[in-house]
Amino acid sequence: PMDTGLCTLVFYGVLWGCAADAVIMAAGLGFGGDPFSTPSGLVIKNERDFARSLRRSSDCRRLFDGGSYSEPMMLRALFVEWLFTFNRKRDQYQRNNKNAQYKHTSNFCSRFGYAVSPKRMGQFVTQVVEVAERVLKRCDGEPARQLKLLMAAIRFEVNEREEIVESKFEAMSDARLKEKFSRFLCNDRSKLQSLLAASFSTLTLVGTPQHGREKKEK
Cα angle 75-158-175, degrees, rounded to a multiple of 5: 55
Beta bridge partners, 166, equal: 156
pLDDT digits (tens, 9 = 90+) for 104-145: 888 888 777 788 998 999 999 999 999 999 999 888 899 999
Closest CA to 172 of 145, 152, 196, 147: 152
| Secondary structure element (H or E) that encloses residue 4, with its range | helix 4-15
At residue 34, what are phi and psi to the nearest 5 degrees? -120, 115
Residues in CB range of 128: below 8 A, 6 or more apart: 23, 24, 27, 28, 79, 150, 154
Tell me the CA end-to-end span of the chain in Å, nearest whole number. Answer: 49
Residues in CB range of 8: below 8 A, 6 or more apart: 199, 200
Looking at residue 28, its pLDDT comes to 93
Query: Which parts of the chain sit beneath pLDDT 70?
Result: 1, 89-98, 162-163, 169, 203-218
Looking at residue 123, its pLDDT comes to 92
Looking at residue 18, its pLDDT comes to 95
CA–centroid distance for 204 within its chain: 23
| The three-state (H, E, C) secondary structure of 99-149, written as one string | CHHHHHHHHHHHCCCCCECHHHHHHHHHHHHHHHHHHHCCCCHHHHHHHHH
